[in-house]
Amino acid sequence: MAAETPVPGASGAGIVLVTGATGYVGGHLVARLLSEGHRTRVTVREPGRETEVLALVRQAGADREDLLEYAVADLSADTGWAAAVDGVSHVLHVASPFPVTPPENEDELILPARDGALRVISAARTAGVRRVVMTSSFAAVGYTVKPDAQYSEEDWTDPDTEGLPAYHKSKVLAERAAWDFVEANGGIELAVVNPVGIFGPVLGPRLAASVNIVRSMLTGRMPVVPLMYFGVVDVRDVVDLHLRAMLHPKAAGERFLAVGGPSISFLGMAEALRAHLPAAADVLPSSELTVEEMREAAKTEPALRDAAGLGGRVPVISNAKARSVLDWEPRDVTRTVLDTADSLIGLGLVTPVGKP
Ligand code: NAP
């Protein structure tokens, strides 16, 4: 089954609520829902942010704006969530803070991520919503080092792992809290999608932390890269998996890793970009720090602690469950990286050196 074909039973949904629609994943997700004819309500944090959502879905080519409605709610407060879920059959809870630079206090991420997820699920349960699909992350799966580096949905990151970045901690604590809530209270179905690094076409100038890596490479801001391998998945395939997790009977109570294929390194990503965009060849990174150099640099650069802790291991992340249970077929990861770059250039967000 092709990645973009309608999911069987798509007509089984009523109003679908999407949180995080002003973001990268959320924008693509809303566009796909509209294109498939779903009545879609989105939450924005403040009134007036509707125009941001519209700009994203238009860039994604959605043509059914008449199906779009809005609610105002912030993950950090109770206000607005009861109204947001009123009359909704399914919730796609995508929103979570994902800053480019880590905060001073980890609670700035943990509290909205964990308590916000509980606000959304609890309000949804009270309103009689059938199923919540929550966007978690590989950060909640594979950041506690294990000898074989093979990861499936059975794995969990230990939130007490030494040096675990605040974002990763926020994702694992939020996902745990969501499962615990549903187990303790019942009355609502939960399915979880755990994407690795999400890349693919961008929809506007505000770039998710993942996509920012490609921009930094293309603009010469990353002359040297850490020795680090990671999984890549296309944002359009992440969206597709959310829809399958929303509608497939067997998805309830399950988490699904979203990974497009074998892990790649920062340098591998740069090499694919160099072959595709010769004009950027000189600015793209061409060397990587050794594990020893990374450990040294991480003493003064917190952003490198994650990479240094992983020590150059190559995670083997399985997408067998999403493929077999939900018939999910992700794109090739190199194509995804190149599509990211092409969209950044196409939207004028990057001008590779040497290009007129
Ligand atoms: P993004 O572009 O930064 O979008 C994040 C979204 O969350 C935005 O709509 C943002 O709203 C919303 N949000 C943040 N804090 C909020 C709060 N306190 N109340 C309400 N909304 C809030 O990031 P993304 O890449 O689309 O990420 C979407 C989801 O995918 C997140 O759950 C993220 O953890 C997960 N994920 C992302 C990746 C990746 O590589 N990008 C990988 C794995 C998982 P504002 O516009 O108002 O800030």
24 lies in some domain: yes
209 lies in some domain: no
> Which residues' Cβ are closer than 6 Å to ligand 1?
20, 22-26, 45, 74-76, 94-98, 112, 116, 135, 137, 171, 195, 197-198, 208, 210
Report which residue type is found at 200: G
5 pLDDT above the threshold of 60:
no
CA proximity to 43, closest of 96, 6, 122, 7: 96
Tokens 């009270």 -> residue: 126
pLDDT, average across residues 42-70? 95
CA–CA gap between residue 128 and residue 25 (Å, rounded): 25
Residue nearest ligand 1's atom 32 by CA: 96
211 lies in some domain: no
210 lies in some domain: no
Q: How far is the CA of 147 from the centre of ligand 1 (A)?
A: 31
Q: What percent of the chain has pLDDT over 70?
A: 92
The 10s digit of each residue's pLDDT in 237-278 is: 999 999 999 999 999 999 999 999 999 999 999 999 999 999
Report which residue type is found at 37: G
pLDDT at 62: 92
pLDDT at 309: 66
Residue whose CB lies within 8 A of the most ligand 1 atoms, among 70, 98, 167, 259, for a mutation test: 98
130 lies in some domain: yes
pLDDT at 4: 53
CA dihedral over 192, 193, 196, 200, signed as positive or negative: negative
Tokens of residue 355, six digits: 């290009």
356 pLDDT above the threshold of 80:
no
| Structural domain that includes position 57 | 15-202+233-259+316-331
**Mean of the per-residue pLDDT values of the chain:** 92
What pTM value is reported for the model?
0.94
pLDDT at 305: 66
301 lies in some domain: no
Length of the chain: 356
| Structural domains in the chain (count) | 1
Greater confidence, 298 or 121?
121
Which helix (H) or strand (E) is 126 found in, with range? helix 116-126
Which CATH number goes with the domain that contains 173?
3.40.50.720
Kindly indicate the confidence band of residue 304, based on its pLDDT and cuts at 50, 70 and 90: low
